[in-house]
């Protein structure tokens, strides 16, 4: 087709234009053309420099090296090093990795070991005040340096029930959003005020501390830790912080902690009043809670 004449220009299309349209490399075109032009060389051989050992020969060297090694579970890097240094073979680490993978010679212990996850993929609840999620994040300010923002989020309607911005991310400050939520929705922060509620959190130092767990026990709240290496099990709080950062934090420079507090306070009020939640029929957190209270009124 490259030699065809264009009716509009009266010139041939050319190899470059045809290859660009067909999304083919010109080197591939010329390689195939040379094979067709030479009847004695029509085999589809791999292009590039020829190696001293074929794949079959190199695989035998790999098997022999693994058999001679006194250790088990070694990867392709050590095999490559021994073949290069001890056997003086000019081999590529990527080629050895490919051959070992194809022959199932890679270490079986590379993948994560242990019990399978029992998480069923669902972290929402069917009613409010069953589970809250809590987490914290850090933010840089001009005058106060790094500060912390803690929040507690209802799993049922993603409502932010409490938040706290502070200079230090201590276990005491991590409890403040929960205390705010208890006062707001349960009317008290006394003993057993949160009986029947559980809190989902990660394994941060604040949340595994004796004081934090003891305070939850005083409130009658059960602890529910996220699964190791599965942050999605605390996804409600994680998603709230993502929304907070996208709507308020990213692209803005805060001078001090007071500016952060004003910004977070305004956002939480707007979020709870207007943020649409798909799983609650596109009602805002406040609307969803009001509807549930009206439906379950005595």
Q: In CATH, which of 3.40.50.1100, 3.30.465.10, 3.40.50.300, 3.30.420.10 is domain 131-295?
A: 3.30.420.10
Q: Which helix (H) or strand (E) holds 69?
A: none
Cα first-last separation, the chain: 81
Q: Do residues 97 and 105 lie in contact, with contact meaning Cβ atoms separated by under 8 Å?
A: no
Spatial distance between the Cα atoms of 271 and 266, rounded to a whole number of angstroms: 9
Instruction: State the pairing for strand pair 145-154/160-166.
Output: antiparallel
Domain definitions of the chain by residue range: 1-46, 55-102, 131-295
Overall pTM > 0.85: no
Residue 212, H or E segment: helix 210-219
Q: What is the pLDDT along the chain (298 residues), one digit of tens a residue?
A: 555 666 666 667 677 777 887 777 878 777 777 766 665 555 555 556 677 888 899 999 999 999 998 877 778 888 998 898 888 888 889 999 999 999 988 876 555 555 555 555 677 889 999 999 999 999 999 999 999 999 999 999 999 999 999 999 999 999 999 999 999 999 999 999 999 999 999 999 999 999 999 999 999 999 999 887 776 788 899 999 999 999 999 999 999 999 999 999 999 999 999 999 999 999 999 999 999 999 988 5
């Amino acid at each position: 087709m490259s030699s065809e004449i264009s009716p509009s220009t009266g010139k041939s299309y050319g190899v470059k234009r045809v290859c660009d349209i067909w999304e083919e490399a010109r080197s591939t075109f010329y390689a195939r053309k040379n094979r067709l032009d030479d009847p004695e060389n029509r085999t589809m051989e791999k292009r590039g420099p020829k190696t001293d050992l074929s794949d079959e020969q190199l695989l035998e060297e790999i098997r022999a090296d693994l058999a001679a090694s006194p250790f088990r579970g070694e990867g392709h890097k050590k095999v490559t090093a021994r073949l290069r240094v001890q056997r003086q073979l000019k081999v590529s680490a990527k080629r050895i990795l490919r051959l070992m993978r194809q022959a199932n010679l890679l270490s079986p212990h590379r993948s994560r070991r242990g019990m399978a996850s029992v998480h069923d993929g669902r972290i929402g609840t069917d009613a409010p005040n069953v589970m809250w999620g809590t987490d914290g994040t850090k933010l840089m300010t001009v005058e106060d340096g790094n500060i912390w923002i803690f929040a507690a989020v209802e799993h049922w309607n993603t409502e932010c029930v409490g938040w706290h911005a502070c200079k230090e991310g201590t276990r005491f400050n991590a409890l403040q959003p929960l205390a705010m939520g208890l006062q707001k929705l349960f009317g008290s922060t006394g003993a057993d005020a949160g009986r029947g509620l559980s809190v989902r959190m990660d394994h941060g130092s604040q949340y595994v501390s004796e004081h934090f767990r003891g305070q939850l026990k005083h409130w009658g709240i059960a602890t529910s830790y996220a699964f190791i290496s599965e942050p999605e099990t605390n996804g409600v709080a994680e998603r709230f912080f993502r929304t907070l950062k996208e709507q308020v934090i990213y692209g803005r420079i805060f001078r001090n902690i007071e500016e952060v507090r004003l910004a977070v306070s305004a956002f939480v009020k707007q979020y709870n009043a207007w943020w649409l939640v798909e799983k609650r029929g596109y009602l805002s957190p406040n609307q969803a809670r009001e509807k549930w209270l009206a439906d379950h009124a005595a």
